[in-house]
């Protein structure tokens, strides 16, 4: 089972959603307070059911929020960002070499986020 891990940074708090194997599936922005970070986790839980907007496909169809935007980064790797109903980015992925890996990452967020417990990093 996955889990959200909240950690303090030099400028605030951020979370990682980790899969059962410990791999990071998605990461948040840095929030100014821990409470705001916890609200971000709730937002991921509430919005993780969104559809996928595949921006790597030619003439892709725009999907309503909440949604996962899958795109190619400057290095040519596949990434996704989860956007809430209000259009804010609430979680982002690492880079994947293959599109299938990126799609698996999105599926993993959908499976893990709703019930994932929250832990504080050491």
Say whether pLDDT at 4 is over 80.
Answer: yes
- Going by pLDDT thresholds of 50, 70 and 90, the confidence category of residue 1 is confident
Say whether pLDDT at 122 is over 80.
Answer: no
Q: Which domain holds residue 84?
A: 3-120
In the chain, at which residue ranges do the beta strands (DSSP E only) sit? Answer: 3-8, 13-18, 24-27, 51-54, 67-72, 78-83, 89-92, 118-120
The answer to whether 32 touches 12, Cβ cutoff 8 Å, is: yes
Annotate 73-95 with DSSP letters as a single string: -TTS-EEEEEE-TTS-EEEE---
CATH number assigned to the domain comprising residue 46: 2.30.29.80
In the chain, how many domains are there? 1
């Amino acid at each position: 089972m996955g889990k959200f891990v909240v950690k303090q940074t030099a400028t605030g708090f951020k979370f990682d959603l980790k899969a059962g194997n410990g791999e990071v599936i998605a990461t948040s922005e840095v929030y100014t307070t821990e409470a705001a970070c916890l609200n971000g986790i709730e937002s991921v839980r509430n919005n993780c059911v969104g559809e996928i907007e595949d921006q790597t496909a030619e003439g892709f169809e725009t999907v309503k929020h909440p949604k996962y935007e899958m795109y190619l980064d400057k290095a040519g790797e596949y990434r996704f960002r989860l956007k809430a109903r209000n259009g804010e980015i609430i979680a982002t992925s690492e880079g994947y070499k293959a599109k299938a890996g990126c799609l698996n990452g999105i599926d993993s967020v959908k499976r893990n986020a709703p019930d994932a417990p929250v832990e504080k990093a050491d």
